[in-house]
């Protein structure tokens, strides 16, 4: 059975904290349909790592603007419509706020 592509994150608006990891896309299951992270605006804290991988239509990280704390590493890779510079700016904002985990930004649009 094949999973349907993730198109929207609506319905998650009341989520303020994730105790574990947040993975949006993965090496084995890239997502060609997700264009926005809208729905995640209330999240301020993620206890584990954050991985955004293989989301070809994702153009920005808007929706994560209130995220202030990540307990693990941050990886933003191979999301072709997202620029490396905007992904790096997002990471830089987290680092300026005290984030000390590893940051990987690569394979996005130059």
Kindly report, residue by residue over 53-64, the tens digit of the pLDDT. Answer: 999 999 999 999
Q: What is the mean pLDDT of residues 44-67?
A: 95
Q: What is the mean pLDDT of residues 77-84?
A: 93
Give the predicted TM-score (pTM) of the model. 0.91
- Among residues 39, 33, 22, the alpha carbon closest in space to that of 76 is found at 22
pLDDT of residue 6: 77
- Cα 96 from chain centre: 18
pLDDT of residue 47: 98
pLDDT of residue 7: 84
Band the pLDDT of 1: cuts 50, 70, 90.
very low
- Cα 2 from chain centre: 23
- Among residues 85, 83, 50, 54, the alpha carbon closest in space to that of 64 is found at 50
């Amino acid at each position: 059975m094949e999973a349907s592509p993730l198109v929207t994150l609506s319905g998650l608006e009341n989520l303020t904290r994730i105790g574990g990891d947040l993975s949006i896309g993965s090496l084995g299951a890239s997502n060609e349909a997700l264009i926005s992270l809208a729905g995640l605006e209330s999240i301020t804290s993620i206890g584990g790592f954050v991985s955004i991988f293989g989301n070809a239509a994702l153009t920005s990280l808007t929706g994560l603007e209130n995220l202030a704390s990540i307990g693990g590493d941050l990886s933003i890779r191979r999301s072709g419509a997202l620029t490396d510079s905007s992904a790096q700016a997002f990471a830089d904002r987290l680092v300026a706020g005290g984030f000390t985990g590893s940051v990987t930004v690569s394979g996005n649009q130059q």
